[in-house]
Homo-oligomer: A and B are copies of this chain.
Amino acid sequence: MKPWDSLSADEIALLQAIFWSGSHSRSSLSERLGYSKSKCNSLVSGLLDMGVLQENGLRTSTGGRRPESIQLSPQLGVLIGVDLGATRLDVAVMQPDLTVLARHTEPADVLAGPAVVLARLRTVMRQLLNQAGAQASKVIAIGMGVPGPVDFESAQLVNPPLMPDWDGFSIRDYLHKEFGAPVFVDNDVNLMALGELWLLQGKLKNFLVIKVGTGIGCGIVCHGQVYRGANGSAGDVGHICVDTSGPRCHCGNAGCVEAMAAAPAIVRQARLAAESGESAFLAASLASKGQINLEDVAQASRNGDTAVNQIIQDAGSLIGQMLASVVNFFNPSHVFIGGGLTRIGPLLLAAVRQSVYQRSLALSTRHLEIQYTPLAERAGVVGAVTLAMQETLRVRKDR
């Protein structure tokens, strides 16, 4: 039994408010929750005594008493966040206030299947716990993002196009057996959206996160909550058609934006530019290494390679065309773009912006901001840990 298994609904609501807003003073907490000052003070005192909360020293006072800020205590245990992309694994161990204790990223290949990938993940998780000085019994919960559609309740992948061997595999059972902690699994880009929502402390209510990597997906925040759709497949924008006479996609339709503008399409076009000699820089890379990867494309772009910059411009324009439809429909305040393709540099973002502003209605874009994700490459793990903490608190509150 963990120290907080016996908390009341009011106490959990207080912990939720602290988690979502960073550390806080007593007076701002009572305001936020609509509790009287005395009720708030007594809840906080009880939770300090139990070691669930801790005081964080003095902070700048605005004139009132008790300027100390209150935060979730590291004594509660640790959270593990996993961001599994199609080609990369990112794992972090964090405190309940999302201070990073240990983090590790490495290349991965989801096509190797769950047995191989999860065996490696288990090892990395143990090493990071070790590094953080935490035992497995101190793990509060585990959150994990995967690059495919997830049935959120069962935590299973449903017909994932990029990772067919994982269909119906229970990541939850596997990791729960290993660590004995609750496991929550979601689509990777939903978790990026959740991570940004945490960072923004709920200040933005309606925004999108677009991940452009091996595929293209979208996380949706609506009315201040991540929106997963009727069957958990909301945000599947990679298969929006941007050219009815475009190349055939693995999904069977023609001209999907994912088939024309995600990382594999860009690398394929870059290779053609290398082979044809259109790009002297990439021709040299190909000759010396026998292959072209996204890093070569980024390097060529930074060198001002015209052929490569045209490829990036075209991809950004197609992504912008898809986004214009989505923005007309959803009218978000912000669109954040993340994922591996953002390493390619600022040109992609410029092309996306130009395309959206040209095609969307004045009213939808008048105040629209399009930028790279504020959390950059950390969005996935931060979102995974946020999910773990959010669901842990929700389960206790609903009980």
Contacts and interface: CB of A to CB of B under 8 A. Distances in A.
Contact of A326 (B251, B329, B332): B329
A324 interface: yes
Contact of A331 (B159, B222, B230, B333): B230
A233 interface: yes
A158 interface: yes
- Interface centre among A205, A230, A237, by most chain B C-beta atoms within 10 angstroms, is A230
Q: How large is the interface on A (under 10, 10 to 19, 20 to 34, 35 or more residues)?
A: 35 or more
Contacts of A244: 243
B330 A329 contact: yes
Q: In terms of DSSP, what is the predominant structure of the interface of chain A?
A: loop
- Interface centre among A158, A231, A326, A368, by most chain B C-beta atoms within 10 angstroms, is A231
B253 A359 contact: yes
B159 A240 contact: no
A366 B230 CA distance: 10
A149 B361 CA distance: 11
A237 B329 contact: yes
B325 A229 contact: no
A227 B222 contact: yes
A225 interface: yes
Given A223-B223, A329-B218, A361-B251, A367 B237 contact: no
Interface string A158-171: 11000000000000
Interface in A74-100: none
Nearest to A234: B331
B325 A236 contact: no
Interface in A321-358: 321-322, 324-326, 328-333, 358
B331 A363 contact: no
Interface string A207-226: 00000000000101011010
A227 to B, nearest CB: 6
Given A223-B225, A223-B227, A227-B222, A234 B362 contact: no
In the complex, the count of this chain's copies comes to: 2
Nearest to A237: B329
Contacts of A241: 321, 324-325, 359
A239 interface: yes
Contacts of A367: 230-231
A187 to B, nearest CB: 11
Interface in A141-158: 149, 158
Contact of A236 (B158, B218, B232, B331): B331
A206 interface: yes
30 contacts: A158-B363, A159-B362, A159-B363, A205-B230, A206-B230, A223-B223, A223-B225, A223-B227, A229-B330, A229-B364, A231-B331, A231-B363, A231-B364, A231-B366, A233-B361, A235-B329, A236-B361, A236-B363, A236-B364, A237-B328, A240-B328, A241-B325, A241-B359, A243-B244, A253-B358, A253-B359, A322-B325, A326-B329, A329-B329, A330-B330
Closest 4 CB pairs of A and B: A229-B331, A230-B333, A233-B363, A234-B331
Given A159-B362, A223-B227, A234-B331, 11 more contacts: A206-B227, A222-B222, A230-B368, A231-B364, A232-B363, A235-B329, A236-B361, A237-B329, A240-B325, A241-B324, A325-B325
